[in-house]
Amino acid sequence: QVTLMESGPVLVKPTETLTLTCTVSGFSLSNAKMGVSWIRQPPGRALEWLAHIFSNDVKSYSTSLASRLTISKDSSKSQVVLALTNVDPMDTATYYCARISDCSRTSCITAAFDYWGRGTLVSVSS
């Protein structure tokens, strides 16, 4: 059974760094074509893709947030970590991790997120 679970702080102060962890089960982060993205959703608003990490540790980032984002993984712990620096109240959102199971660094079969975590709501406020 494939599951993803997000964890991290509920409240972060402006200018701090937000660090979130996605713990996966039912598949291996080392398997070829497995990758995990982080996606966020401000309250009442649309989904926004943030970052993706491939099984070979190659990473990609949203062009608008690339300077503030770092994604990493520890396959032995089945975890993918997202760091967002210098947070602002506009970063208040539910943060999801989601899996793509059929993409290498250069090509995909579906390029679609087939499993999602339940999300974690992060508020940025002083």
The residue type of 89 is P
- The residue among 93 and 96 lying less far from another protein, judged by its C-beta, is 96
- For residue 42, the minimal CB distance to another protein (Å) is 12
- The residue among 16 and 61 lying less far from another protein, judged by its C-beta, is 61
Single out the segment in contact with another protein by CB under 8 A; choices: 18-26, 43-51, 75-83, 85-93.
Answer: 43-51
What is the size of the binding site for another protein (CB under 8 A)? 28
- The residue among 59 and 75 lying less far from another protein, judged by its C-beta, is 59
H helices of 1-126, in order, are none
* 112 touches another protein by CB under 8 A: yes
Rounded Cα–Cα distance for residues 70 and 125 (Å): 22
8 three-class SS: coil
By CB under 8 A, the residues from 64 to 103 that bind another protein are: 96, 98, 103
Rounded Cα–Cα distance for residues 19 and 7 (Å): 9
User: How many other CB atoms are there within 10 angstroms of residue 112's CB atom?
Assistant: 12
What is the phi-psi region of residue 78: left when phi exceeds 0, alpha when psi lies from -120 to 50, beta otherwise? Answer: left
Q: Which of 5, 16, 48, 83 binds another protein (CB under 8 A)?
A: 48
Rounded Cα–Cα distance for residues 20 and 6 (Å): 7
Binding site for another protein (CB under 8 A): 37, 39, 46-49, 52, 54, 58, 60, 62-63, 96, 98, 103, 105, 107-114, 116-119
